[in-house]
Homo-oligomer: A and B are copies of this chain.
Amino acid sequence: MKQMVLVVGCLMLSWAASAQQLTKKEEKNRSFAGAVARQQQYRVIYQMDSGDPRIIEKVLRNLNNALNDPRLKGKLQAELVAFSGGTDAFLKESKYKDALKQLVDKGVIVAQCANTLKERKIDREQIYDFIGLVPSGNGELILRQAEGWSVIKP
């Protein structure tokens, strides 16, 4: 019994010591749990402008994480725009067909920059048939932000 008290006492002391390591500001920061969703709807456009497969996969993972965030679930209109190297993800030989189709099926707008196609001499037939086309990816980012959309570059 005495030993039990001793052990519990030690644990409490060590806990107190550990807690003491945090200042009030640090305690307050530790308890931060994120911004609160007060709007009925949110809108975001993702910028995919690198052909690095790690970045392409990060974009897809990030976008799905946003769609699944409990604060945004069912409230998020998303768009994915590819330009520059990001166009690689839309080429018919890419390995991202299923992931992209799933996004479209979830209501995400998936669009390609027409400018990049022209610059890289890529025909529309070379990218997946279900992809939309915008005059320029940069123009799209500007217009969306002006409409109040958030923008994320993973």
| Known A32-B132, A84-B154; 18 more pairs at CB < 8 Å | A22-B129, A26-B130, A29-B132, A30-B132, A32-B109, A34-B140, A39-B146, A44-B142, A44-B145, A62-B138, A65-B137, A66-B142, A68-B136, A69-B135, A69-B138, A71-B135, A145-B151, A146-B150
Q: Which of A44-73 contact B (CB under 8 A)?
A: 44, 47, 49, 58, 62-63, 65-66, 68-72
Tell me, in angstroms, the Cα distance from A131 to B30 when the chains sit together.
5
CB distance from A16 to the nearest CB of B (A): 14
Rounded to whole angstroms, the CA-CA distance of A130 and B22 in the bound complex is 7
Q: Count the A residues whose beta carbon is within 8 Å of the partner chain — how many? A: 68
Q: In the assembly, what is the distance between CA of A12 and CA of B39, in Å?
A: 48
A101 neighbours in B (Cβ, 8 Å): 26
